Amino acid sequence: MMTWLITGASSGLGRLMTEKLLARGDRVVACMRRPDALNALQEQYAERLLICCFDMTDTQAMRRELDNAFQACGKIDRVVSNAGYGLFGAAEEVSDAQIDRQIATNLTGSIQLIRAVLPWLRKQGSGRIVQISSEGGQVAYPNFSLYHASKWGIEGFLEAVDQEVKPFGIEVVIAEPGPTQTGFGAGLDHAQPMAVYDETPAGKMRQGITDGSFAIKGDAGRTVEAIITAADTPTPPFRVPLGSTAWEHLVASLGGRLEEIKNQREIAWSADAP
């Protein structure tokens, strides 16, 4: 029996993952803001489901609850950093308060979560951190600039952390789902739109989200199954694209970026000291 800690477990991918892991016989520490969100599961799996309540922006409460969870469980095998949401709007449209909340939740909150569990994972000499990122951690859509800032940021953070913690038996997996049928769209924080962007890529993206024409191919259940499979793999991949949209966009974006960099060899070399 494995023990998993999952943030954002009250809905979406986190909820599905919690249900699937409990159903297969694992133990789950489900972290969320609302203590009653999993009442039915708590009744069904009382001995294998531990509820932790904290907001991702409250670092002190997070550390206190995580410390209690590790002490109660003795060992936690998988830490799934899943909590987060999307801020939708052109960079000029979003408010200062919306920016602060997006970064505090998705980026700073995820960083502090990982920092809080590292001493425990290091002490037990093993463990895997599974960060739920997005294809938007390496590619970008208009109207999601701040969401992308948070996802590109956490991926860069984990690129370094992975190198730091490998000697302690700790591994990192970054899951990058493409557009997936979850409650993500319904949970978007929308900026006040400006008419000047109506006929721009930002306006077209807004229209696609509003009228449902923006293609969403990913299946939530299959996405969760793929994440669990990757997390269970003896030698897990560092990055896992999830869904055909994610794979195609990542291949196109990374291929284009690599070609652009290759074409700048001469100017790159010119910046070296003589």
Positions annotated as catalytic residues are 10, 133, 147, 151
**Number of alpha helices (DSSP H) and beta strands (DSSP E) in the chain:** 10, 9
CB 37: neighbour CB atoms within 10 A?
Answer: 17
Tell me the C-alpha distance between 33 and 109, whole Å.
13
Tell me the C-alpha distance between 23 and 15, whole Å.
12
Q: In 3D, which of 120, 22, 125, 105 has the Cα closest to residue 70?
A: 120
Distance of CA 210 to the CA centre of its chain: 24
Strand partners, 240: 175
Strand-by-strand arrangement of the 3-7 sheet: 49-53, 27-32, 3-7, 78-81, 127-132, 170-177, 239-242
Asked whether the CA dihedral 211, 99, 53, 123 is positive or negative, the reply is: positive
CA angle in degrees (0–180, nearest 5) for 134-178-81: 30
Residue 175 in tokens: 């899951």
Tell me the C-alpha distance between 16 and 25, whole Å.
14
Work out the widest C-alpha separation in the chain, in whole angstroms. 70
